[in-house]
Amino acid sequence: MSQMMRNAVRSVLASRGRFVLTGAAIMLSVAFLVATLVLADSMRGRAASDIAEAFAGTDAVMQGASLGEPGGGPGDPARSVRQSLDPDITERVASVDDVDGAASQWAGFAKLVVDGSSVGNGTASDVGRNWIADTALNPFRLTSGQPPTEVGEVVIDRSLADDAGVAPGDVVQVLTATGMHDATITGIATFASADAAPLQRTVLLPDAAVSAWLDTAAPTEVLVELAEDADRTEVLGRLSALSDAEVVDGPDYIRTMQDAATSPLQFLNAFLLAFAVVAVLIGATIIFNTFTLTVARRRRESGLLRAIGAERRQVLGGVVIEAAFIGTIATLAGLVCGVAGVDALRWVVGLTGISLLTGPPIVSPTSIAIAATVGIGATILSAWIPARRAAATPPIEALRESAAEPRVVSRARTVSGLVLAGAAIAGGAMAVVGSNPVWLMLAAVIFPALVLCGPAIVTATARWSSPAARRAAGVAGSIAAGNLAASPRRSASTALAFMLGTAMVTMFAIFASSLTSGVGTDVREGLQADLVVTSATPDFSTIDPTLADRIAERPDVDAVTALSKAEGIVEGKAEAIGGIDPTALPTMYDLDPIAGDLADLSSGGVAVVSDDPALLGGTLEIEFERSTIEAPIVAVVARSTGGFEAPLYFVDRATLDASVGRLLDAQVFVDLADGAGTDAEEDVSALVRDAPGSFLATREEHVASSGSEIAAFGNFIDGMLILASLIALLGVANTTALAINERSGEIGLLRAVGATRRELRRIVRLEVALLSFVAASIGIAVAVGFGWALIHVTGGEEIPSVVVPWSRLAVTLVVAVAAGVVAAAWPAFRVSRVPVLELAGRDR
Partner 1 sequence: MSPNPDSTIVDRQSESALSADAGDAGDAGDAGDAAAMLVGAGKRYGSDESAVVALDDVTIAFPAGKFTAVMGPSGSGKSTMMHCAAGLDRLTSGRALIGDTDLSTLGDRELTMLRRERIGFVFQTFNLVATLTAEENICLPLTLSGRRPSDAVHDQVVSMLRLGDRLHHRPAELSGGQQQRVAVARALVARPQVVFADEPTGNLDTRSGQEILGFLRSAVDMHHQSIVMVTHDPGAAVWADHVVFVVDGRVHDVMDRPSADSVLDVMRGLGR
Residues that bind partner 1 (CB under 8 A): 1, 3, 6-7, 10-11, 14, 300-301, 304-312, 314, 394-396, 399
Q: How far is the CB of 288 from partner 1 (least distance, A)?
A: 22
Alpha carbons 112 and 129: distance in angstroms, whole number: 13
CB contact at 8 A, 84 and 659: no
Q: Among 288, 268, 285, 272, which residue's Cα sits nearest to residue 779?
A: 285
Label residue 806 exposed, middle or buried (CB < 10 Å: 0-12, 13-18, 19+). Answer: exposed
Select 309 or 555, whichever has its Cβ closest to partner 1.
309
Q: How far is the CB of 3 from partner 1 (least distance, A)?
A: 4
Alpha helices in 610-707 (DSSP H): 653-660, 678-689, 699-705
Q: Among 627, 46, 1, which residue's Cα sits nearest to residue 314?
A: 1
Q: How far is the CB of 714 from partner 1 (least distance, A)?
A: 50
Other residues' Cβ atoms within 10 Å of the Cβ of residue 150: 10
Select 533 or 834, whichever has its Cβ closest to partner 1.
834
Select 403 or 804, whichever has its Cβ closest to partner 1.
403
Q: How far is the CB of 251 from partner 1 (least distance, A)?
A: 57
Residues whose CB is less than 8 angstroms from the CB of residue 401 and which lie 6 or more positions away in sequence, other chains included: none
Q: Are strands 60-63 and 246-249 parallel, antiparallel or unpaired?
A: antiparallel
Q: How far is the CB of 419 from partner 1 (least distance, A)?
A: 28
CB contact at 8 A, 523 and 640: no
Alpha carbons 510 and 529: distance in angstroms, whole number: 30
Select 298 or 565, whichever has its Cβ closest to partner 1.
298
Q: How far is the CB of 395 from partner 1 (least distance, A)?
A: 5
Select 293 or 631, whichever has its Cβ closest to partner 1.
293
Q: How far is the CB of 309 from partner 1 (least distance, A)?
A: 2
Residues whose CB is less than 8 angstroms from the CB of residue 392 and which lie 6 or more positions away in sequence, other chains included: 312
Residues whose CB is less than 8 angstroms from the CB of residue 207 and which lie 6 or more positions away in sequence, other chains included: 104, 106, 130, 131
**What is the identity of the amino acid at 568?**
G
Q: How far is the CB of 308 from partner 1 (least distance, A)?
A: 5
Phi and psi at residue 630, to the nearest 5°: -120, 115
Select 136 or 399, whichever has its Cβ closest to partner 1.
399
Residues whose CB is less than 8 angstroms from the CB of residue 816 and which lie 6 or more positions away in sequence, other chains included: 498, 501, 502, 725, 772, 773, 775, 776, 779
Select 325 or 695, whichever has its Cβ closest to partner 1.
325
Select 10 or 662, whichever has its Cβ closest to partner 1.
10
Residues whose CB is less than 8 angstroms from the CB of residue 353 and which lie 6 or more positions away in sequence, other chains included: 121, 122, 123, 709, 712
Select 201 or 298, whichever has its Cβ closest to partner 1.
298
Residues whose CB is less than 8 angstroms from the CB of residue 111 and which lie 6 or more positions away in sequence, other chains included: 118, 119, 126, 174, 175, 176, 201, 203, 536, 542, 692, 693
Q: Among 598, 556, 557, 558, which residue's Cα sits nearest to residue 581?
A: 598
Q: How far is the CB of 272 from partner 1 (least distance, A)?
A: 41
CB contact at 8 A, 650 and 578: yes
CB contact at 8 A, 29 and 735: no
Q: How far is the CB of 732 from partner 1 (least distance, A)?
A: 28
Q: How far is the CB of 392 from partner 1 (least distance, A)?
A: 9
- Provide DSSP, 348-371: HHHTTT-----S-----HHHHHHH
Select 329 or 399, whichever has its Cβ closest to partner 1.
399
Select 553 or 843, whichever has its Cβ closest to partner 1.
843
Alpha carbons 645 and 667: distance in angstroms, whole number: 12
Q: How far is the CB of 25 from partner 1 (least distance, A)?
A: 23
Q: Which residues of 767-780 are buried (b: 16+ CB within 10 A; e: fewer)?
A: bbbbbbbbbbbbbb
Q: How far is the CB of 733 from partner 1 (least distance, A)?
A: 25
Select 303 or 787, whichever has its Cβ closest to partner 1.
303
**β-bridge partners, 621:** 630
Packed helices 475-486 and 446-473: angle between N→C axes, nearest 10 degrees? 160
Label residue 207 exposed, middle or buried (CB < 10 Å: 0-12, 13-18, 19+). Answer: middle
- Provide DSSP, 32-82: HHHHHHHHHHHHHHHHHHHHHHHTTT--EEEEPPEEEBPP-STT---PPEE
Select 437 or 835, whichever has its Cβ closest to partner 1.
835
Select 300 or 550, whichever has its Cβ closest to partner 1.
300
DSSP for residue 205: E
**β-bridge partners, 202:** 127
Alpha carbons 357 and 345: distance in angstroms, whole number: 13
Q: How far is the CB of 1 from partner 1 (least distance, A)?
A: 8
Alpha carbons 493 and 213: distance in angstroms, whole number: 65
Select 2 or 678, whichever has its Cβ closest to partner 1.
2
Select 300 or 626, whichever has its Cβ closest to partner 1.
300
Q: How far is the CB of 397 from partner 1 (least distance, A)?
A: 9
Q: How far is the CB of 396 from partner 1 (least distance, A)?
A: 5
Alpha carbons 163 and 358: distance in angstroms, whole number: 14
Q: How far is the CB of 383 from partner 1 (least distance, A)?
A: 17
Q: How far is the CB of 20 from partner 1 (least distance, A)?
A: 18
**β-bridge partners, 665:** 543, 564
The Cα angle at residue 101 between residues 97 and 105, in degrees rounded to 5:
125
Select 2 or 807, whichever has its Cβ closest to partner 1.
2
Select 301 or 525, whichever has its Cβ closest to partner 1.
301
